[in-house]
Structure 1
Amino acid sequence: MKAGAAVRATKLERIRRGRAPRVLELCSGCGGMSLGLKAAGFNLVAHIELDTTAAESYAINFSAPVAACREAWAIARDMTESDPVSLCRDLGLDGSPADQFDVLAAGLPCQAFARIGRSKLRSVTGDDDAFKNDPRARLYQRFLQYVEAVHPVAIVIENVPDILNFGGHNVPEEICGTLEDMGYLARYTLLNAAYYGVPQMRERLFLLAVDASLGRPPGFPVPTHAAKLPSGYEGARTVALRYVPDEGSRFTESPWPASTLPSAVTVRDALSDLPRITEHYKAPAVMRRRHVSDVLPYPSFTSLTDYAAKMRAWPGLPKCHAGTDGHVVRLTPRDFEIFRRMRIGGDYPHASVVAQAIFEERLSHIRPRPAQGSEAWRALHKASVPPYDPGKFPNKWWKMDPAMPSRTLTAHMGKDTYSHIHWDSRQRRTVSVREAARLQSFPDAFRFAGAMNAAFRQIGNAVPPLLALAVGRQLKLDLLRKPAARCDRAETDETSDVAAA
């Protein structure tokens, strides 16, 4: 323990002399958290990602510190099979892992923790407790082994709020307790991306830890935007927080936006400067030939929203003056007319009513009218009405409200984008890859490897870069702060409460 404290003291002194904190990120995905941390002044040194396409995207967008090993950044790795020593060797990093990294970050897989992921596991296995046996649920334990090997001065973990209730077990409390035994001060809270300039209401848990020699626990970023969350988000937060201990908890009250802050970035703010897409219903062959990497010009706009300007000129990436890529959408002809007629904010039960009306109209134009239940009647019904039960899938579809931030994007977008239908009825479609990236705050110069489904999956899995930027800026301030006198648990909790307020 003393040796680890000495290693961390050396690292902190290095950072105070003006050197950028060096990051190793586990489960990096395509690089949402890395992009934000880099913009906050951190140095990306290494990453581990299991998904082949996401690892390729990471390598496309970030430069490896050792030029000869840039191809190694594109190699998919399993954090349970990789170890810090072999990783450093593969990436051409000299010395021990403890010499190479100052910050250990991870967006640990959330499928075993998220309620929707647990439901899927139950449906596949028939076991109500299948999520407890999912190997991904134990990756946080492997993460703690990396902490022992790397001795970072700071730690960042992101996950879904449901990790607070893993079969009645509060995992963040366990992680914080273990980190405190290892010489850290650790805290966790819930942050909503809409409060930090992301045009999306995305609630996530963040756990931060810093070396105990700093004398005070890590803080969380102050919101920059105000937003009123729908009742569903408030309800989910309330449920998650039931599992925070009443006493002795490492939980910090979530930072709350002041009413005087600018309003949250809306869907219209985020997407209105991107190209209109109509080829999917006017010229489907054109859409079938289009690739995610194909660039289309921006429309001729004389002015941009602040958000759009930010997405076209992200620090450290090329500026996008003429156009950007990712303008591919799903070809689902049955539903284009439904999309057109749906009202703003409409969900699947509403879409089902619209589809039934379309079917009745089409039926009325056929002479002689097919008998109900006949082969012709069934064929027309199948071509007009989606087969889902409105009572079982109320949130399956949603037509975005342009005056509000978007709902949460998920990895399931790789299979189904109906949760985000474009508000412009003339375009009658779901969002494109680039639009999903904008809603997640990926800048236009960020490139996604793979085809459309893989790109949607990477975006839905990612940490919003703007949210990671806010967390990174606060963390860097904490690392540069002069060490405070060591204080007991009650005093550090009081300090955290003041900072949150």
Structure 2
Amino acid sequence: MDERAIQQKIQRLRNGGRLRVLDLFSGCGGLSLGFHAAGYEIAAAVEFDADAARSHGLNFHKGETRHSVARDITLTSPEQLTGELGLGEAVSAFDVIVGGPPCQAFARVGRSKLREIAEHPEAFRHDARAQLYIEYLHYVETCAPLAVVIENVPDMLNHGGHNLAAEISEILTARGYVCAYSLLNAAFYGVPQMRERMILIAIRRELVNDVLFPAPSHWIDLPAGYSGSRAVALKIALAADREGDALYRAAPEATDALPPAVTARQAISDLPTIDARALLKAGLLRRGTRRFNIPQPYTGQDRQTAYAKAMREWPGFEGGPAIYDHVIRYLPRDYELFAGLNPGDQYPEAHRYALARFAEALERLEVPLDEGTEEWNKLKASIVPPYDPGKFPNKWRKMEADRPARTLLAHLGKDGYSHIHYDSAQARPISVRDAARLQSFPDGFRLAGTMNPAFRQIGNAVPPLLAKAVALKLKEQLLECGAQVPRVRTATGAGA
């Protein structure tokens, strides 16, 4: 680690310099957007997926080609990145590195191996399980940031028997950082979604003695499933046979004195109505690629909640007179089925309802069909989904209007059954813009590609409002502590 570069960055911070962010594994930019909203400069990003890289470039660099190209971190050194972007030397270009290597990158890489990687970065470049993790560490080592923020799924704390957050913290501590990690649920930070994330923060030891996490802004009594998942994730960190990992921090406590969590209805009820059954009947909803070239006028001013208003008026990402990505999947068999489901219903309930509708359809026939005939099977297939309800109990879910949404996943890029719109009159899965709202992306945030890539980008993203809360707390620590750091001394001993 370049100690002189660290001191120069601290001095720059003292002089009022804006904190410059490098977002690794950036996706479309959920973390970047949160840090941007907190006043950071998004200097650069590295993202392998072409559509996500284009989205990031569109939103943070006005679509400049050099900022919009996909980059493979294993083939792009820090020096190459800053050279291509005209940012000067890598060691001087960034103050904060954010992002999160995919868990698969270091699954089953043990603590001893991680230590060896830290000491000998070339040692395991042949190991596909560790390579992305090695590259991430290499960027930290080369770029000498004042702070690092890593996010990932809660299972990172118990991945194949390893607490990867603790192991990463061990490496960063050896490199001069003060580290801590926690599990934060996005619903406590104003996001209309119950999404649990592991957040690890590392700050240079020259600046702090400890790491702090943001206080919640909202309250919710999370469903039991979230508590159970959290307990599994924390099993190693809070092991009973030892004192536990001193670097783990329990999430700051939320109380019911706070405003209630933002609900799905508050998040998306102002968006244009999409009556899937009426559009299907009129021939306006067809199979095919969903592109974002058809404007839908925004007419929901009279239905705006405080949250919707914030998504419409996000500085730099304001919503316009029309929405272009409010598109849904073509699922003609299931729109009527969606209409009949109750809030919270999942696939077993959907399957039972579909069988009941099939039975009614058989009774309406003037000429009865024998079970098992081609015509009987064809009619059943037009009404009843083919999945075994015993094997796919969680495949479907109708949202509850007055609660935050359940966790959005990248699987939205393949189907929309996990988030069926709560409004039975619309009888549809959520749209791309619905999903963006539920992740707290503002209406002016542009998504490159077509519907499937856009859903995937949203599902993979960190909710920007959660990222903003983390960014503001980190900034508070950096600015407060940076102001107290002694000035850098020059060779002659004069203050810089």
TM-score normalised by L of structure 2? 0.89
Q: 1:198, 1:137 → 2: CA distance?
A: 33
**Cα separation, partners in 2 of 1:300 and 1:265, compared to 1, 3 Å:** closer
Identity among equivalent pairs (%): 49
Amino acid paired to 2:371: Q
Q: 1:193 aligns with which of 168, 176, 186?
A: 186
Kindly indicate whether residue 310 of structure 2 is the aligned counterpart of residue 310 of structure 1. yes
What is aligned with 2:110? none
Alignment partners' CA distance in 2, 1:257 and 1:293: 42
Is the 2:269–2:303 contact (alpha carbons within 8 Å) kept by the matching residues of 1?
no
| Distance verdict in 2 for CA 1:300–1:285, change over 3 Å | closer
What corresponds to 1:277 in structure 2? 274
State the partner residue of 1:169.
162
Q: Does 1:325 align with 2:319?
A: no
Deviation at 1:223, TM superposition (A): 0.3
Counterpart secondary structure, 1:481: helix
The answer to whether the 8 Å contact 2:74/2:131 transfers is no
Partner Cα separation in structure 1 for residue 406 and residue 471 of structure 2 = 24
- The question of whether the paired residues in 2 share the 8 Å contact of 1:113 and 1:163 is answered with no
Structure with bigger helix share is: 1
1:495 aligned partner: none
Shift of 1:484: 11
User: Which residue identity does 2:247 align to in structure 1?
Assistant: R
Which consecutive aligned stretches of 4+ in structure 1 deviate over 6 angstroms post-superposition?
A: 483-486
What is the distance in 2 between the residues matched to 1:430 and 1:353? 19
**Cα drift, residue 367 of structure 1:** 2.3
- Change in Cα spacing, 1:300 to 1:38, as seen in structure 2 (3 Å) is closer
Deviates more, 1:253-262 or 1:468-477: 253-262
- One-letter code aligned to 2:260: S
Secondary structure at 1:214 match in 2 = coil
1:220 positional shift: 0.7
Q: How far apart are the structure 1 equivalents of 2:372 and 2:302?
A: 55
Contact 1:348/1:394 (<8 A) preserved = yes
Taking structure 1 as reference, are residues 138 and 404 closer, same or farther at Cα in structure 2, changes over 3 Å only? Answer: farther
Deviations 1:122-181 (A, max 9, x none): xxxxxxxxxxx9946652232111111000000010100111122101111111111111
* Residues 112, 134 of structure 1: 8 Å contact kept: no
What 5-or-longer segments of structure 1 have no aligned partner?
115-132, 487-501
Partner of 1:205: 198
Distance 1:282 1:304, change over 3 A: same
Equivalent residues of 2:272, 2:300 under 8 A apart: no
Mean Cα deviation higher: 29-38 or 101-110? 101-110
Native 8 Å contact 1:51 1:76 kept in 2: yes
Aligned length: 460
Q: For residue 291 of structure 2, what is the aligned residue in structure 1?
A: 291
- Deviation (angstroms), 1:7: 1.7
Partner Cα separation in structure 2 for residue 47 and residue 154 of structure 1: 16
1:5 offset after TM fit, Å?
Answer: 2.8
Q: Is the 8 A contact 1:209 1:217 kept in 2?
A: no
Do 1:399 and 1:422's aligned partners in 2 also have CA atoms closer than 8 Å? yes
* SS in structure 1 at match of 2:98: strand
* Kept after mapping to 1: 8 A contact 2:34/2:467: yes
Superposed counterparts of 1:101-140, under 5 Å: 101-110=94-103, 135=128, 138-140=131-133
43-52 or 241-250, which moves further after superposition?
A: 241-250
Rounded Cα–Cα distance in structure 2 between residues aligned with 1:141 and 1:112: 9
User: Any idea what the Cα deviations from partners look like across 1:331-387, whole Å, max 9, x if unmatched?
Assistant: 111111110100111000000011001100111111221111111111111111111
Amino acid at match of 2:6: R
Displacement of 1:285 in angstroms is: 3.4
CA distance in 1, matches of 2:176, 2:300: 56
CA contact (8 A) 1:215 1:483 kept: no
**Aligned-pair CA distance for 1:86:** 0.4
Corresponding residue for 1:120? none
Q: Residue type matched to 1:457 in 2?
A: R
Which residue does 1:497 correspond to in 2? Answer: none
Q: Secondary structure at the match of 1:355?
A: helix
